[in-house]
Structure 1
């Protein structure tokens, strides 16, 4: 299992988008008090699946990220969760148990895997423990939780983008990048004060 792996194998080198691009209708909903509870249910499901597979979950990072993790922020009704594992290439340690727990593989790319529920209402992002992406997700979440101005900016940006049609949710996500980078720069500056 995870703690017994002595040698790392090479990671994947390209993007595997299981099922290909998906045309989706993305709609924002006002913040929903049920989102934190849904996260907690899936955190328990993830921990149980990994524990049953022999993964040491005592220090496992499982965090609610994305807009549904920010009170008061309108969001598409998809619970995003980040999980930091010891070795992203050791898929047998985490991917197989999560698939057995009912999640479906959607993305396999260097340093990142994404599984989701069949209903597509929960996305679980898997990274290695020290991957900067984990810190970046938490930086954005924590800043949006405390900065009303940036929270409003982010929501208005999402609303403006959603007035357009998107062939794939990944394209919509990419379109938010500039605003997200600016918000994270302000978040870092606030931490340095």
Structure 2
């Protein structure tokens, strides 16, 4: 069950995809440094994931970051420090890899928190790396994103859920 601490924003329209921006890498690096500094050894990994992490891929202009901590359910170990640098806890998904999502006011960031060793984190890294190295997978994902983004969606998550079939296809090596 998802527990929303901040209600999800409604889109009620199409999804904004923008051309790849090389600045996304520098933005991620700055954010990652801030997160590592705030958390110290609690941050076991900070990885750039999602479409903004794939050179050349059009994306929603939102940096996705995976943060691994020893136990993502132990919010007291990391949430206060992240709040100290401007992040707000938006949701908890205890039944889905103990996932937590935090966002700052600016820039547009989704900070996904998982427990170190999470298979979902590994899956996201595998998918990112496949898109970075396989031109056919890149093209299939890009065309799928563009087709779906042009449709009307109530919430961004609805769009993301609709992409899951192609993500699974690419992860399976097809």
Write out per-residue CA displacement over residues 44-103 of structure 1, whole angstroms, 9 at most, x where no aligned residue: 11111112xxx444xx11100000000011111110000111011211111111112101
Q: Would the aligned equivalents of 2:88 and 2:103 in 1 still touch at CA under 8 Å?
A: yes
Q: Would the aligned equivalents of 2:89 and 2:103 in 1 still touch at CA under 8 Å?
A: yes
Structure 2 residue 150 is matched with structure 1 residue 166 = no
The alpha-carbon deviation at position 26 of structure 1 amounts to 2.4
Unaligned runs of 5+ in 1: 1-13, 188-193
Q: Would the aligned equivalents of 2:17 and 2:61 in 1 still touch at CA under 8 Å?
A: yes
How far apart are the structure 2 equivalents of 1:163 and 1:86? 39
In structure 1, the residue matched to 2:141 is 154
In structure 2, the residue matched to 1:145 is 132
Q: Would the aligned equivalents of 2:4 and 2:92 in 1 still touch at CA under 8 Å?
A: yes
Write out per-residue CA displacement over residues 10-57 of structure 1, whole angstroms, 9 at most, x where no aligned residue: xxxx31122323213621111101000000010011111112xxx444
1:2-81 alignment runs, 5 A limit: 14-24=1-11, 26-51=15-40, 55-57=41-43, 60-81=44-65
1:86-165 alignment runs, 5 A limit: 86-110=70-94, 111-119=98-106, 121-165=108-152
Q: CA RMSD in A?
A: 1.4
The alpha-carbon deviation at position 120 of structure 1 amounts to 6.2
Unaligned runs of 5+ in 2: none
| Higher alpha-carbon Rg | 1
